[in-house]
Chains A and B, each alone.
Chain A
Amino acid sequence: MYTYNWHSMKRIILFSLTSFLSIHALAQTDSSLFNRIPADTSDLKLNMEAAYNRPFLQTGKLPVAIGGYVEANSSYFGTDGVSEGPSFQIPRMTIFLSSSIKKGIKFLSEVELEEGGKEIAIEFASMDIEFHPLFNLRGGVVMNPIGAFNQNHDGPKWEFISRPISATTIIPSTWSNVGFGIFGRYGHNNWVWAYEAYLTNGFDGKIISNEENRTWLPASKDNPERFQESFNGVPLTTIKSAFRNREIGEIGLSWMGGIYNKFEKDGVKIDTKRRVDVFAIDLNTTIPGSNTYCNGEWVWAIIDVPKTYSQQFGGKQRGGFLDIVQPVVQQEMFGWEKSTINLAFRLEYSDYNVGTFKETGGNISDDIYAIVPGISFRPSQQTVIRANYRYLWEHDLLGNPPALTAGFQFGFSTYF
């Protein structure tokens, strides 16, 4: 339905990137050519606007700005006494390009090189046309506004090296698709309200047919065709609305839903239409006085799994995370003014199969709990050096004694 020529898109973006980078290299000797555009740090930016609120670098009068971030870390994990030993990763390097084409017309893209360049993914590549603060159009590859993490996932923003479990396995962050939609915002005194609503390509039958042996929304990301065409011709709807108060904090409510299965083949009905619906609520606030930052997200997913299939594949999932970040030292360190040391703690949970066995009435487990204490050092807001310890309890479907995993992670992430 919403077809889109992915390959030529990829080429254009890579071409503009390389040409821009070479200009950048030539110009390097004269730093006066550059203009650093810092991220807007006023409090009234929302999670869903994060992609538009990043530090950029602009050369001279070129209408294009560039930015990006990189993450690198080492990790050492063991599960039930078995460890693969320490390993080093560059999980991702991301480059953003933005340009103002004409007044009121903007283009922004985010290209991600995963695992040292093995995979190149366009996370985001969309054109905005502004009509009114409350009504704007956006089209291209967009990030579905579901939960907070999906749109606010840049490594340097987080004190934790691993992404939240529920936000990557129930909500399959980074979840972006080809489509279009509208967005807008309204601000008044200390308040801001904003919304986004999109129609995009969506999920496919893989979410209940995959080697994870459980309902697994990220399985749809393996389909290389999803940027070319919709799996079943029915668009996925995603709507988010969020409020923020300068003093109190932010709350976001979002929903994403559509049909995931192929119900027709060559015009012949082969199955009933089956829905997947995801609801999320996200909250964040900074406690005045102690400056403790709390950030959390909770998600529910409801999937219409055929009754005659297997309870191996859950019809309901839920999960969430709560991050607490406490700045403990805030002062000049090593010549960096305003550096910060934070203590951080994450609590997370995902249940991939909420329900009871038909055969016994007993609880279906298939869940995971984790705690992640950590410490971070930020020489500036743009850069974080962080160390985490992570402990996970994973139960199988039947609720047998959990697999225990624990380990250390150490690394950095920075915008550049």
Chain B
Amino acid sequence: MITIKNLHASINGKEILKGLDLTVNAGEVHAIMGPNGAGKSTLASVLAGREDYEITEGSVDFDGTDLLDMDTEDRAREGLFLAFQYPVEIPGVSNINFLRTAINEIREYKGEEAMSAKEFMATVREKSALVELDPKLASRSVNEGFSGGEKKRNEIFQMAMLEPKLSILDETDSGLDIDALRIVANGVNTLKGDDNASIVITHYQRLLDYIVPDFVHVLYDGKIVKSGPKELALELEEKGYDWIKEEMTL
């Protein structure tokens, strides 16, 4: 699905990603953990195509195409989805209108017919139920006045609507109470399939009780420094990130 090789990226002349390697296959869930400032959100932004970053070295292959060569919107249209750590508010634009525009742009890109209003509304109903999103929120302005938890749930709702191939969830668990966490995880698990994959970025192992990863990676100082099965998350939780630091200096 995605193969990242020796990725180096900097912002304002400061190198943040320093030779990152990662391969994710269809059907897999990968967790990326790491201390604050390690570069987790940077990785997500670079993959999604945020322009502020300069890629100085490395390559990213996304289903056979050079991801770094694609426009931001085309990456999305090809099935890359980012659930933002800090979703933005777009006043005056309803969630519905926003999503309908997105879906139809993606369909147009693929040479498909626009989704009918009827089908669209039926999908909205189905998917908002999946993440237990109050249907009223669907017609409110995008994220405007949403609580932190509602914003995160709205990200998963959008993900459910767009049915991406590769989802990157950037700290979707932060700011969620246990109930919301369960709902979000349930959404992600339901959407999981043989031909899609997820990268779940998280700070705490808590989320991984609900979304069971196939692999856990530790991102530290711009590199993946350790990878392992799901038990690695527990070990990290127990020993803390200092453990990684110590291991690295050995």
Binding partners A and B:
no
